[in-house]
């Protein structure tokens, strides 16, 4: 099932402009996103070919099958609620049967967790991005030997430095655990049977050898295994992020020199503001009246720490607002279920989606 199929078979029952253009946050560089709802043909819905979502390659255009749309509404999914309550001027197509859903109010206290919780997650991601920008990881990957140290004089030095000072080679060394000492090993040298400190440069652990009786160690070595594991995780996370990051947004982040993804932070505050409004007024305002403030965030006009402080206060205030809110605890499941059945039945009776 493709977008072309949806249009040629006339399966789309609701379609609207979404994203920044619907939020009143569009700038000349903004893409135009489209979202909507479709109903599968009767045979495909009842058969094995159920498709819950159809989109283009960039996910700029996304359509949800009616059942999936209702399921996500029941979970107070922010994207689905925004789609449902999109302003009239952003609606491109709406069949009369879909108006029945638009008439209902499915906002509930669940929005505290769906809108506010998502915003909190984005703040954590912003902190992670801040850490990546301020603490880049060198492309050249460290190995096990970089986390091995030997006692030397009144301190310690890397094992590689120790070997260099003594004209020794790691592949001619043998290691043996020292009992009762965590990740500490005796370093021995010279036997042909020794396996080296590591068997190869890409090894993820040290190598142990069988040590002849009576042979004295040339050094005592400690392997910071937990430090090496932590480094490997951070290395992978950092370079995966580099490979997948949106370069245009990253350059914007670098240019405004505030060390956070400004666009991401703007949408975080948009969600927090929406969450507050839902709790206070019982309304979802997709078209933002706080455009100027949000675009200032996008332009990087606030310090990172300042935004975090404001966000934390908002999150605390949201908790207070929802404690006294008159909203229902969750969306009306029976109403949603009834609408799903009625709309699908009406569509199939009227030969829509066949």
Q: What is the pLDDT of residues 274-291, one digit of tens each?
A: 999 999 999 999 999 999
Distances in whole angstroms, Cα of residue 189 to Cα of each of 34, 165, 216, 343: 68, 15, 9, 80
The position carrying tokens 């029952």 is 13
Structure tokens at 19: 């994203």
Contact 271, 299 (CB under 8 A): no
Taking the whole predicted model, whether its pTM rises above 0.85 is answered as: no
For 256, the 3-state DSSP assignment is helix
Q: What is the pLDDT of residue 134?
A: 56
pLDDT digit string (tens) for the chain, length 354 residues = 899 999 999 999 999 999 999 999 998 888 899 999 999 999 889 888 899 999 998 889 999 999 999 999 999 999 999 999 999 999 999 999 898 899 999 999 999 999 988 887 777 666 555 555 556 778 899 999 999 999 998 899 999 999 999 999 999 999 999 999 999 999 999 889 999 999 998 899 999 999 999 999 999 999 999 999 999 998 888 788 777 765 555 555 545 555 567 788 898 999 999 999 999 999 999 999 999 999 999 888 888 888 888 988 998 999 999 999 999 999 999 999 999 999 999 988 876 654
Domains and CATH numbers, the chain: 1-106+331-354 (3.30.460), 144-225 (no CATH)
Q: 250: Cβ–Cβ under 8 A, 6 or more apart, which residues?
A: 261
DSSP 62-100: EEEEHHHHHHHHHTT-HHHHHHHT--GGGEEEE-HHHHH
Distance CA 252, CA 269 (A): 18
The predicted pLDDT at position 120 comes to: 79
pLDDT at 204: 92
Can you spell out the DSSP letters for 112-153?
Answer: IIIIIHHHHHHHHHHHHHHHHHHSPPPSSPP-GGGGEEEEET
pLDDT at 256: 54
pLDDT score of 247:
58
Cross-strand pairs, 61: 34
Residue 167 to residue 165: CA distance in whole angstroms: 6
Per-residue pLDDT tens digits for 304-332: 888 888 988 998 999 999 999 999 999 99
| Cβ proximity of 193 and 184 under 8 Å | no
Quote the pLDDT of residue 30. Answer: 86
pLDDT of residue 72: 96
């Amino acid at each position: 099932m493709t977008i072309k199929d949806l249009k040629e078979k006339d399966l789309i029952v609701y379609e609207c402009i979404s994203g920044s253009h619907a939020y009143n946050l569009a700038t000349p560089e903004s893409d135009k996103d489209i979202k909507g709802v479709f109903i599968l043909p009767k045979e495909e819905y009842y058969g094995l070919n159920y498709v819950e979502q159809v989109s283009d390659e960039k996910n700029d255009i996304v359509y949800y099958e009616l059942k999936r749309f209702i399921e996500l509404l029941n979970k107070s999914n922010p994207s689905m609620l925004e789609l449902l309550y999109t302003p009239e001027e952003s609606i491109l197509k709406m069949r009369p049967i879909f108006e029945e859903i638009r008439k209902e109010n499915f906002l509930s206290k669940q929005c505290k967790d769906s809108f506010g919780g998502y915003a909190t997650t984005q703040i954590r991601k912003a902190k992670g991005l801040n850490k990546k920008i301020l603490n880049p990881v060198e492309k050249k990957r460290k190995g096990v030997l970089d986390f091995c140290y030997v006692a030397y004089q009144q301190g310690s030095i890397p094992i590689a430095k120790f070997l260099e000072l003594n004209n020794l080679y790691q592949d001619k060394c043998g290691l043996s655990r020292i009992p009762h000492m965590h990740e500490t090993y005796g370093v021995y040298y010279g036997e042909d049977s020794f396996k080296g400190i590591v068997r190869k440069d890409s090894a993820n652990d040290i190598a142990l050898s069988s040590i002849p009786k009576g042979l004295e160690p040339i050094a005592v070595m400690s392997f910071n295994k937990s430090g090496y594991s932590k480094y490997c995780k951070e290395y992978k996370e950092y370079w995966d992020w580099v490979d997948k990051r949106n370069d245009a947004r990253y350059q914007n982040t670098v240019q405004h020199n505030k060390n956070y993804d400004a666009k991401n932070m703007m949408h975080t505050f948009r969600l927090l503001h929406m969450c507050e409004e839902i709790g206070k007024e019982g309304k979802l305002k997709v078209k933002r009246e706080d455009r100027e403030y949000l675009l200032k965030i996008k332009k990087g006009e606030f310090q990172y720490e300042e935004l975090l402080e404001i966000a934390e206060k908002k999150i605390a205030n949201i908790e207070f607002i929802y404690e006294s809110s008159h909203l229902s605890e969750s969306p009306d499941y029976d109403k949603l279920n009834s609408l799903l059945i009625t709309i699908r039945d009406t569509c199939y009776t009227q030969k829509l989606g066949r």
